Amino acid sequence: MSEPIQPGRPQAQVETGSRMQRLFDLRYVIGALLGVYGVVLVIRGLLDGPEQLARASGISINLWTGIGLLVVAAIFLVWGLTRPLGIDVEENID
């Protein structure tokens, strides 16, 4: 119980704005994946016939889910475009 204390490596060694973040902005990844899913579901939804509708209790669920996904994708893409990385407002700590 009397070992010298070795705290975690000082964070000074970690450069600000990680390489991970500079490599790719997660907002674009989310926007792209959900966007592709959205487009596919909207097309599938427009082609849905009575059989698919009956399965989902009469809701055109593919179409609506696709639209929802496109909206979320658009939010992330617009966010990424209007607030690119690197100009984040500085925050005060302590």
Partner 1 sequence: MLRLNPGWLDYTLLALYFVVVLGIGVVARRAVGTSADFLLAGRSLPAWVTGLAFVAANLGATEIIGMAANGAEYGVATVHYYWIGAVPAMVFLGIVMMPFYYRSKVRSVPEFLRLRFGNYTHILNAAVFAIASVLIAGVNLYALAIVLNALLGWPEFLGIVVSAAVVLVYIGFGGLGSAIYGEVLQFFVILAGLIPLAIVAVRHVGGFSALADKVTASALGEGGLHAWQGTGIGSVTNPIGANWISIVLGLGFVLSFGYWTTNFAEIQRALSAKDRSASQRTPLIAAFPKILIPAVTIIPGLVALVAIPNFGNDASGGLEYNDAIPALIGQLLPEGVLGIALTGLFASFMAGVAANVSSLNTVVTYDLLQPYLAPGRSDRYYLNAGRVVTAVGVVIAIFTALLAADFNNIMTYLQSLFGIFNAPIFATFILGMFWKRTSGWGGFAGLLTGVLAGALVFVLAEAGVVDFGSGIATSFYQAGAAFLVDVVVTVVVSLATARPEPERLAGIVYGVPGADGVVPTLRQPKERVWYRKPVLLGGLALALTVVLNIVFA
Residues at the interface with partner 1 (CB under 8 A): 1-3, 5-11, 13-24, 26, 29-30, 33-34, 36-37, 40-41, 44-45, 48, 51-52, 55-59, 61-62, 64-66, 68-69, 72, 88-89, 91-94
**Strand ranges inside the chain, DSSP E:** none
Complex with partner 1: residue 56 or 81, whichever CB lies closer? 56
Copy the structure tokens of residue 33: 């994946």
| Alpha-carbon span 36 to 41, nearest angstrom | 9
Question: To the nearest whole angstrom, how small is the minimum distance from the Cβ of residue 77 to partner 1?
Answer: 13
Distance CA 72, CA 19 (A): 26
